[in-house]
Structure formats: structure tokens, C-alpha cells
């Protein structure tokens, strides 16, 4: 039997299953999408989400990662510190994701669509090609895909209405993010 994933591979389409990450608050680890377990410097919970800060080990361009998981909004908002010599391409990176909170462990499932935000300048939707390929390969069901698209539109619309000021838009939703801002 030929699967949709095999058909996509035969057609040369870039395909991968949705990326899953685990955030273990007890062990202070983050199991990334490649299943590498990373030490976390800080976890912090707020009524609206979970904050994580950790080094980016062995990444050629990035040095440090800070992320907020916002389950009610289906968003993971990240700020990356870059290594010297690498220009900052955006101020915030927004992943559209299904987020499953827990008392000691959180889990995210990336839904392919991302938004690069340049504060008070613009927002660009990224990876729509991966999203469409995943949909064609039946790695996303129709309801999940619709939810991801609706979330993406809601974010871009909210940002545009607030002159691409991410904190200002989130403030209207009762979300106040704070960052470690290392280095």
C-alpha cells in the first residue's frame, strides 16, 4: 500500500510530519523537534501561558532562545539571540501550534505556518508551502488545517490593526509577555 507521505516523497515534495516538542518543567528540559533533550535555564508559568529560556547549543546562527507558549491563542512566540556576525531577520517568530498544557509537562505540535514579525514594520507568513504539502499528504486533518489558517489570519489581522506592534496587540488580549533579554 502506498501512503500519501510516500507519494509526496516520490513527487519530490518536501514533507515531514508535524514537529512535536516536550517541555518538562520538573526536569527543566525541552525535547526539541529532533528529539534532542536540551537543558532549560528558566521556566515560568502565567495564567495565559508558559515561558521558556534556554541556550541554542550547536546552532550556527542562533545563541539563545526565549519562547512563550500561549495555548488559548494556539501560538508559540519566540525571540532568538543571534551569534555575532548574523543579522537579526525579525524581532519575533510566531509558530502556529496546538499546545497541550500540563502541570509538569507541556507539549506542542507545530502546524507548519509561521509568522516573522518585524516590530512596528511588518509581518510575513512563512512556510505556507509546507502547510499545503502536509495537507495534501494528509498529515493534517481538515479541522486542524482550518484552525491553523484561522489563527494565522487572526494574528496577521491583529498585528496590522496595531501597527505591527506585537506586545500592543497581545495586551488587548490580556497577555503581557516578559523576556529575559540575555546578552
User: Which pLDDT score is estimated for 183?
Assistant: 44
Model's pTM, two decimal places?
Answer: 0.90
Residue 171: pLDDT band (50, 70, 90) is: very high
Give the count of beta carbons closer than 10 Å to the beta carbon of residue 114.
22
Q: What are the two backbone dihedrals, phi and then psi, of residue 135, each rounded to the nearest 5 degrees?
A: -65, -45
Question: Within 10 Å of residue 165's Cβ, how many Cβ atoms?
Answer: 15
Per-residue pLDDT reduced to its tens digit, 127-157: 999 999 899 888 999 999 999 999 999 999 9
Distance (Å, whole) CA 157 – CA 161: 6
**Minimal CA–CA distance to 67: which of 46, 94, 33, 97?**
94
| Dihedral pair phi/psi, residue 99, rounded to 5° | -120, 125
Residues 116-121, mean pLDDT to the nearest whole number: 97
Q: What is the pLDDT of residues 32-42, one digit of tens each?
A: 998 999 999 99
Q: How far is CA 128 from CA 15, 68, 91, 109, 152, in A?
A: 12, 22, 20, 16, 11
Who's near 157: CB < 8 A, 6+ residues apart?
A: none
Q: How far apart are CA 85 and CA 74, in angstroms?
A: 33
In the predicted structure, residue 161 carries a pLDDT above the cut 80: yes
In this structure, what DSSP letter does residue 35 have?
-
Place of cell 509561521: 114
Amino acid at each position: 500500500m502506498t501512503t500519501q507521505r510516500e507519494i509526496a516523497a516520490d513527487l519530490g515534495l518536501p514533507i515531514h510530519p508535524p514537529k512535536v516538542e516536550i517541555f518538562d518543567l520538573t526536569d527543566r528540559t525541552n525535547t526539541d523537534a529532533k528529539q534532542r533533550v536540551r537543558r532549560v535555564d528558566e521556566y515560568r508559568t502565567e495564567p495565559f501561558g508558559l515561558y521558556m529560556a534556554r541556550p541554542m547549543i550547536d546552532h550556527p546562527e542562533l545563541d539563545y532562545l526565549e519562547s512563550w507558549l500561549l495555548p488559548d491563542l494556539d501560538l508559540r512566540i519566540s525571540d532568538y539571540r543571534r551569534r555575532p556576525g548574523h543579522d537579526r531577520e525579525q524581532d519575533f517568530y510566531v509558530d502556529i501550534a496546538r499546545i497541550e498544557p500540563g502541570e509538569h509537562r507541556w507539549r506542542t505540535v507545530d502546524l507548519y505556518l509561521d509568522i516573522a514579525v518585524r516590530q512596528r514594520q511588518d509581518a510575513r507568513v512563512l512556510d505556507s508551502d509546507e502547510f499545503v504539502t502536509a495537507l495534501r499528504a494528509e498529515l493534517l486533518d481538515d479541522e486542524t488545517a482550518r484552525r491553523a489558517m484561522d489563527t494565522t489570519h487572526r494574528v496577521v489581522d491583529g498585528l496590522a490593526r496595531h501597527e505591527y506592534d506585537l506586545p500592543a496587540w497581545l495586551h488587548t488580549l490580556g497577555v503581557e509577555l516578559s523576556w529575559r533579554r540575555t546578552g
